Chains A and B, each alone.
Chain A
Amino acid sequence: MNGIEQPLLSVRDLTHTWDGVHGCREINFDLYPGEVLCIVGESGSGKSTLLQAVSCQVAAQHGSVRYDLREQGPTDLASLSGAQRRLLARTDWGYVRQHARDGLRMQVSAGANIAERLMAIGERHYGDLREVAGNWLHKMEIDVGRLDDAPASFSGGMQQRLQIARNLVTHPRLVFMDEPTASLDVSVQARLLDLLRQLVADLGLAAIVVTHDLAVARLLAHRTLVMRGGYVVESGLTDQILDDPQHPYTQLLVSSILQS
């Protein structure tokens, strides 16, 4: 821990609106290697738009996103070709969607879902692919005997864990997650959160997690951004944001949590 590291991702003045009104505006933040950042806010606050703009799923209308590429260092992502961005997205990044069925191929086997990214970067050896897929199922606490089953036969929690494995198989350094636990039962949420917590720590992953659930932020995130009406209204260490919120909206959010 000597000196200040270089950010993995730098977002500057990022604005994207869908209709001139709804979206995200003038967003600035840096993300460092191994850091988990939560974006919280209610529906319509612009947090999903922000995630899409940062991960180049939509082209932002204004501002820049720089990423520390493995080969060439910090690079403005707008300067990459479409093919370069797609390669980045399926090797060094992951994108975990709220509904696992949107992030999985439901008609092919669990093993093929996990192996797909590896095959896309040229891995062809069937035995190796099967072994890697099996290891990931095990890591995600899914019975390895389910390797050849289609995800359609999995429970919601298993599907979500499979989607995560499918994303992590190429050892990305940055994972985007859009409400990863929101569509799961509460009992299943805790297990997934714990797995995510372990994975980000063990693999040194950086992650940007969009959630409306402050408990998810408390458990996973080093830092939190609070969004409202497209703007970031408050940002800071997660425990500081939750224990000593400064902005009226954050205070309202925090005071609305049910005490257990």
Chain B
Amino acid sequence: MTQAQTMIEVRGVGKMFTLHNQGGVRLPVFDNVDFDAARGECLVLSGPSGTGKSTLLRCLYGNYLTTAGTIRVRDGEQWVTLTGAPEQRILRLRREVIGYVSQFLRAIPRVGALDVVAEPLRQRGIAIDESRERAAVLLARLRLPERLWRLPPATFSGGEQQRVNIARGLIGGHPVLLLDEPTASLDAENRAVVVELMREAMAEGRCLVGIFHDEAVRDAVATRVLGLRSPTSAADSTPGSTLALNPATLASAAALTE
């Protein structure tokens, strides 16, 4: 069996928040996180609230700064050390390599849903008509009513906004895709569409790293699970075991998509 190409390499990564205006209180979130993630897989970050799943995802996007360790990302034939990279390099990685579906859509005043979704393509210099066409295909697939496409998503329901957000994250075809609870505000039918899209992305050889509280969704997409524990609870266990690697349960995988 050939080894799938590694896309992300995380070594000894730690994150601590220092709140200078609260008397300098320090909040350790996680430390010593190591993992690799490869093409065609979906690595699920799991653990109770407060163990830093979203924080880790944000570190992988360069949205949060890490306090220790290194994160490296493959850009074609090149490995780029994201931690400490110049800002221009991180922006380029975001344009071309790392996509991110945040938990909530940050609406932009006056920009319609279709253009919100098309924007990642526009940033790469793809013509507006083609960008909008591809956005339309994705929004249709995500069953967003066509009458909403021209409207700014600020007034949409949570589920509608989330589908716009997912479309915006998926449209670029980024080789690495970070997903923070992409199905949290969706009903069963829409969840199934999103699961289908994620499985297609994996089949295309994209590398997914995500957080899914919904167990059925998690089981349908996970190829591996990375358990996160907070540094305090991990203190009494042996070093290196802070990171539990469990095989994903694939048993109910088909249930949602078929």
Which A residues lie at the B interface, using CB under 8 A? 1, 4-5, 32, 35, 190-191, 193-194, 197, 201, 219, 222-223, 236-237, 239-240, 243-244, 246-248, 251-252, 255
Contacts and interface: CB of A to CB of B under 8 A. Distances in A.
Contacts of A191: 109-110
Interface in B67-103: 87-88, 90-92, 95-96
A190 B92 contact: no
Q: Which bracket fits the contact residues of B?
A: 20 to 34
Nearest to A187: B109
A246 B65 contact: yes
A4 B65 CA distance: 23
A1 B92 contact: yes
B196 to A, nearest CB: 30
Interface of B: 17-21, 58, 62-65, 87-88, 90-92, 95-96, 108-111, 122-123
Given A190-B109, A243-B63, A243-B64, A237 B92 contact: no
A237 B94 CA distance: 12
A248 B108 CA distance: 29
Contacts of B19: 251
Contacts of A248: 20-21
Contacts of A246: 18, 65
Nearest to A194: B110
A77 B19 CA distance: 41
Contacts of B91: 222, 237
A32 B122 contact: no
Closest 3 CB pairs of A and B: A248-B20, A190-B109, A244-B64
Contacts of B108: 194, 197, 219
A193 B108 CA distance: 10
Given A237-B90, A240-B63, A246-B65, A193 B21 contact: no
Contacts of B123: 201
Contacts of B64: 240, 243-244
A35 B62 CA distance: 18
Nearest to B61: A239
A1 B88 CA distance: 11
Nearest to B75: A1
A255 B62 CA distance: 21
A152 B108 CA distance: 31
A174 B110 CA distance: 25
Nearest to A204: B125
A7 to B, nearest CB: 9
5 contacts: A194-B109, A237-B62, A243-B64, A248-B20, A251-B21
Contact of B122 (A201, A222, A244): A201
A240 B65 contact: yes
A244 B110 contact: no
A136 B66 CA distance: 45
Nearest to A32: B88
B87 A223 contact: yes
Nearest to B91: A222
